[in-house]
Amino acid sequence: MIIILFGAPGVGKGTQATILAEKLGIAHLSTGDAFRSAIKNGTAVGKLAKSFVDEGKLVPDDIVARIVEEAMEAPSFKNGCILDGFPRTRAQADVLKAMLESHGQKIARVVNITVDDENIISRLLQRGRADDDETIVRHRLEVYQNETAPLLDYYGATDRLVSVDGIGSVNEVNERILRAIAA
């Protein structure tokens, strides 16, 4: 089972992915974790990604997809996974679809967690991270709206996209997601 958790930064994708992975008995694939692991382990694609990161450049879609594919080849992903932070662009979505098809898999659900911008900003500012000042957070939301949100139309053309309200306790949101996945 392949599930994509979708939504703006700060909606709780990482938190929910961790809980869902445990409840559903499938792996959680955080793109950020996969990046760090590939770079740390010095894999061929990790070295390639590091060259872009070291120059302060965005890692191209094809390299991001290769890192995700490399991570998904681990035995822990044989029963599927919850993708958190991937895909973020149409090119990545196309690569993911082709990659899954080549392995006889498909996306079971794309769960769009919805939270309004003001709540997102409040959540992110409360985390207290250095990269979470209001200007940076608003910029990240703008990038999300311009580059990633259009994937809602891409996945909306299938019967796999469901949206859930991300406002409420972690458990309340988790129960909504579980119901959406089962529907």
Return the pLDDT at 57: 81
Q: Report which DSSP code applies to 183.
A: -
Range of the domain at 91: 2-182
Range list of β-strands (E), the chain: 2-6, 27-30, 81-84, 107-114, 161-165
Looking at every residue in the chain, the average pLDDT score rounds to 91
pLDDT for residue 55: 83
Mean pLDDT of 20-31: 94
Number of domains in the chain: 1
Tokens 């879609």 belong to which residue? 61
Is the per-residue pLDDT at 29 higher than 90? yes
CATH number at residue 45: 3.40.50.300
pLDDT tens-digit readout, 117-173: 999 999 999 987 777 789 989 988 998 999 899 999 999 998 899 999 999 999 999
Using CA atoms, how far residue 78 sits from 58, 67, 155, 159, in Å, is 30, 16, 24, 24
Distance CA 49, CA 66 (A): 10
What tokens were used for 51?
A: 């060259």
